[in-house]
Chains A and B, each alone.
Chain A
């Protein structure tokens, strides 16, 4: 039913996923492939991913990145994935063009933080959080291709489960991945 080319694979395809400055909507959409997850599980295994809770990525075949780059930690995670993955896929609007978080780009980040944390109603003192564990915000939110080389882009907010399945199976089966109308969507 959900056919994946019956090659005689010696080992499973190793996939790492992460959500940088995103909303996890693209990961939700990945789960929207529903029972095809079982077909995927037969040919693929997950490295670092919110699904496995592995914190650092090892060598893998495909890295799927949701979300743009908005802070220093995002940069480190993205570079680690790029260094370990043969193929890196930008999944969803935020990874492809910055998306919703990038809508702050025309606002000064200092003013933005001050507005959120220090302008409080009467009786409430506020300060910009300054814990050393908090990653530093970048002054602008960037699409991931402005930080590392990206092999493939899947736009959409989020891309549908069908679109992700089509793209992923094309990739795994060695076809040139392609999204056409009506699967190709920016919204």
Chain B
């Protein structure tokens, strides 16, 4: 038996090692599958569903389904991309994602995905939420209106920083991120700018203070190459 086995992604063979998920194997081979709550350093969460693919005809999240030899996986199809666009639209209307007023614009994964999937309108009726902004911490600001509940900060704080600063509370449309301190304020936790959790937010919800425009608009992460082009260039890296 060889070290590598293969499955088919949109008709192209992709090599993988046992234990890899479809998403990990695809990204390592330079084949982009849209994803939002995935982070290579953390266990899969499977909540955003952007990476949904058809595995042997059945829908599954590419970040949680293990790659198996002989699988036939469909990802870049009009049907799946259409569904992904609807998921993005729902995320956009649920929070306050006003890109011209957000300092994350250009380096935001949600926005980059919307560009990549050519989402021209949020389509649905906006929630226009009014959630509190926590600017209590000296180095980090949290705008809960932009939170997409990917749980990356929760996972980073728990698994890497060992601090458990964040948690998800509530259910369904009432679910939201809470801060683990008596006051509910970030300043009353042991959260620090050097924490992993301060730097994993894919959107503009957790922002380090005083560096908002250190990188000018036009030179940001997704300004030159789109998110899919970047992934395709990163063959062999852990992404």
Query: Which B residues have a C-beta under 8 Å from some C-beta of A?
Result: 92, 96, 98-102, 105-106, 111, 114-116, 118, 120-123, 125-126, 128-130, 217, 223-224, 226, 229
* Residues of A in contact with B, size category: 20 to 34
Q: How far is the CB of B79 from chain A (nearest CB, A)?
A: 18
Task: From known contacts A153-B121, A187-B105, A187-B217, infer whether A100 and B128 are also in contact, taking CB-CB under 8 Å.
Answer: no
Partner among B100, B118, B125, B126 whose Cβ is within 8 Å of the Cβ of A187:
B100
Bound Cα distance A143, B105 (Å): 21
Which of A131-169 touch B at CB < 8 Å?
A: 140, 143, 145-146, 150, 152-155, 157
Contact of B100 among A99, A105, A184 (CB under 8 A): A99
> B120–A187 contact, CB under 8 A?
no
Docked-complex contact B98 and A97, CB < 8 angstroms? yes
Contact B118 A180 (CB under 8 A): yes
Main secondary structure of the interface of A (DSSP, over half): loop
Chain A 66-94, CB-CB to B under 8 Å as 1, else 0, gives 00000000000000000000000010010
Residues of B within 8 A of A180 (CB): 118
Query: In this complex, what residue of A is CB-closest to B131?
Result: A106
Instruction: Give the docked Cα–Cα distance between A100 and B101 (Å).
Output: 8
**Contact (A157, B99) CB under 8 Å given A106-B128, A143-B126, A182-B223:** yes
Assembled-state Cα–Cα distance A153/B123 (Å): 10
Known interface pairs A97-B126, A100-B98, A157-B100; A187-B106 also in contact (CB < 8 Å): yes
- CB pair B100–A93 under 8 Å, yes or no, is yes
Pick from B96, B101, B121, B226 the residue with the most CB of A within 10 Å: B121
A155-B120 contact, Cβ under 8 Å, with A140-B128, A143-B126, A187-B100: yes
CA distance A104 to B7 in the complex (A): 51
A180, B115: Cα distance in complex, Å: 7
* One of A99, A145, A152, A182 near B98 (C-beta < 8 A): A99
Q: Which of A97, A98, A157 has the most CB of B within 10 A?
A: A97
Q: Which of A98, A143, A179 contacts B120 (CB 8 A)?
A: A179
Q: How far, in whole Å, are A105 and B125 apart by their CA atoms in the complex?
A: 13
* Contacting pair A178 B100 (CB below 8 A): no
A179–B118 CB distance below 8 A: yes
A33 on the B face (CB < 8 A): no
Interface contact B118-A186, CB-CB below 8 Å: no
